[in-house]
Amino acid sequence: MSRGFFVSNEDKNLRTGFQVLTVVSTLLVFGGAIWLAKEQMGGRIREQVLARYAQELYAISLVHQVTMAESAEVLFLEDVTDQLSVYGAVAELSGALGVRLYTPDGEFLISSPENISDGTLSAGQLHSAGLLAPTSGLNEALLARNVFWEPLLEGESAEEPLTIREVVLPVHVADEDELLGVAQFLFDGSDSLADIAELDGGLFRQSLFIFAVGGGVIALLLSASFVRINRIHRSLARRTFALKRANQELALSDRTSAVGGVASHLIHGLRNPLTGLRGYLDADAPGQDDLSSAQSAVKRMEGMIDNIVRTLGENASGVTYELSVAELLEIFQTRIEPIAGEQGVRLDISGAVGRELDNREGNLVLLILENLTQNAIEACEQAGRVTVRASETGGVTVFDVSDTGGGLPETVKASLFQPGQTSKEQGSGLGLAISGQLAASMGAELLLAKSDGNGTTFRLALAKSNS
């Protein structure tokens, strides 16, 4: 009892640990999904913020170009001087650190103010400019010497990293699609970085709130589910224990039933020899034939009692051994052949079945076959024939016991295996009922296969072999 309790506690601890691990793993996956979504959304927000800066500056540059053209200050943007005049003014208006001008092919031309160093354009920036689309990017660690010539801004070191926001605009005449050059504006990116950081912070807080609420709901639902599963598990364990106990009781009942059936078979089998012995004792002047019959009856009773005692002893002791069908038929033949010879009935026994039976099942089969064959012998007239044949189909072993008697009355067939049903004048009607009980105790089936004017056949079908 204590060991069962210990195993139960160990199983409970393992189950609880697994459930906790499941909840933690689920929350980690949920948190990872939220973090991934937050990072992707943060990247899109960063792109949108930078794109907004580029669009705003692009619009300012076009408006300023039109304004200067109307005032006749600029006539041709093909000239780099005119471009520098327009976009230098835009740089001053927008608060840019400076601007660089490039040819449509990306070759550096000039920068304003003069302390802005030479620069280059990426292939992506050139491609977007060719499509007349402004672009913007944020470089958080650009060395100061890559932005400014000497003299540097006051207090700046040449190796000091700077946060620079670049905006690249296509240079073209308003309402025309011909690319005349490329303008690259340089801004202090600290403000942009602060704006993006503020948006990221808000996004992080929202993600944390979603994780807290969603994780709480997930943990609650999983906990409720595990509570229900544990309840079902306990109920299933109780039912399994009850089923196991019921199976044990059923097995005990089955063994008890088999023992009862064997005892009933003994009582029923002794009836006929006792009747013959009593007739000898009641005879006024018994002759030699009566003495021989009495001796034969006593011998049959001794053999039957020995067989039953051995069967009950093996059943009680739990001794087990294998018995082939061929060996079983040999034992059966030695028991039943003398009885058939006394009645003048021919006995044919055949069968080639390789199945192995345990001794308990084999002993019960022998008792059933003996009872069926004795009934068949009694149903035959002199020179009649009884056939016992063993066969196997689809793993099912079948024993057929046939006689050449006159068949069973229709009134007997309806309730053939019920106690009290018999076609014999002095029969008790217990033989077939006992045989049916013995067959049921080992999971076999006993049935009437045929009965007509040419004879009767009973069939014993054993349970399907596991091998």
**CATH number of the domain to which 278 belongs:** 3.30.565.10
Q: Is residue 207 part of a domain?
A: no
197 occurs within a structural domain: no
Could you tell me if 299 and 178 lie in one domain? no
Phi, psi of 454 (to 5 degrees): -95, 0
What confidence score (pLDDT) does residue 353 get? Answer: 76
Sheet holding 135-143, edge to edge: 108-112, 98-102, 181-188, 161-171, 135-143
Kindly tell me if the per-residue pLDDT of 351 is higher than 50.
yes
Same domain, 273 and 168: no
CA 93, 96, 101, 102: dihedral to nearest 10 degrees?
-130
Please indicate, yes or no, whether residues 371 and 441 belong to a single structural domain of this protein: yes
* Segment 331-347 mean pLDDT: 88
**Could you tell me if residue 91 is inside a domain?**
yes
Please classify residue 194 by burial: count the beta carbons closer than 10 Å to its beta carbon, then call 0-12 exposed, 13-18 middle and 19+ buried: exposed
Residue 12 has phi, psi (to 5 degrees) of -65, -40
Instruction: Write out the two tokens for 169.
Output: 């605009």
Give yes or no for residue 169 having a pLDDT over 70.
yes
Handedness of CA 422, 423, 425, 426 (dihedral sign): negative
Q: 321 and 453 share a domain?
A: yes
**303 occurs within a structural domain:** yes
Q: pLDDT band at residue 55, thresholds of 50, 70 and 90?
A: very high
168 and 294 inside one domain = no
pLDDT of residue 413: 77
Task: Tell me how far apart the alpha carbons of residues 225 and 19 are, in angstroms, rounded to a whole number.
Answer: 10
8 A C-beta contact, residue 378 and residue 349? no
Are 13 and 109 members of one domain? yes
- How far is Cα 143 from Cα 158, in angstroms, rounded to an integer? 7
Phi and psi at 170, nearest 5°, equal -75, 135
Are 320 and 438 contained in the same domain? yes
The answer on 272 and 142 residing in a single domain is no
Verify that 30 and 178 share a domain, yes or no: yes
Query: How many domains are contained in the chain?
Result: 2
Residue 123 confidence class, pLDDT cut points 50, 70, 90? very high
Q: Which amino acid is at 171?
A: V
DSSP E strands, 79-160 = 98-102, 108-112, 135-143
- Which range of residues forms the domain containing residue 415? 249-461
pLDDT at 6 over 50: no
In a domain, 449, yes or no: yes
pLDDT at 424: 55
132 plus 270 within the same structural domain: no
Q: How far apart are CA 280 and CA 291, in angstroms?
A: 7
Of the candidate ranges 1-10, 62-71, 151-160, 362-371, the one whose mean pLDDT is the lowest: 1-10
* Same domain? 37 vs 123: yes
* CA nearest to 443, candidates 389, 397, 375: 397
Q: How would residue 223 be classed by pLDDT, with cut points 50, 70 and 90?
A: confident
The residue type found at 269 is: G
**Domain-embedded: residue 229:** no
Domain containing 29 — which CATH number? 3.30.450.20
Q: Which has the higher per-residue pLDDT, 314 or 345?
A: 345
Residue 395's pLDDT is 80
Model confidence at 117: pLDDT above 80: yes
Query: Quick one: pLDDT at residue 108?
Result: 92
351 and 441 share a domain?
yes
Average pLDDT over residues 227-234: 84
Q: pLDDT per residue over 287-325, tens digit each?
A: 565 566 556 655 666 666 666 666 666 666 667 788 888
Position 181 pLDDT exceeds 50: yes
pLDDT in tens, 403-418: 998 888 887 777 777 7
CB-based contacts of 41: which residues, under 8 Å, 6+ apart? 203
State phi, psi for 113 to the nearest 5 degrees.
-70, 180
How high is the pLDDT of residue 3? 42
Give the closest residue to 368 by CA, choosing from 339, 343, 401, 344. Answer: 401
Residues 87-120, buried b or exposed e (16+ Cβ, 10 A)? bbbbbeebebbbbbbbebebebebbbeeebbebe
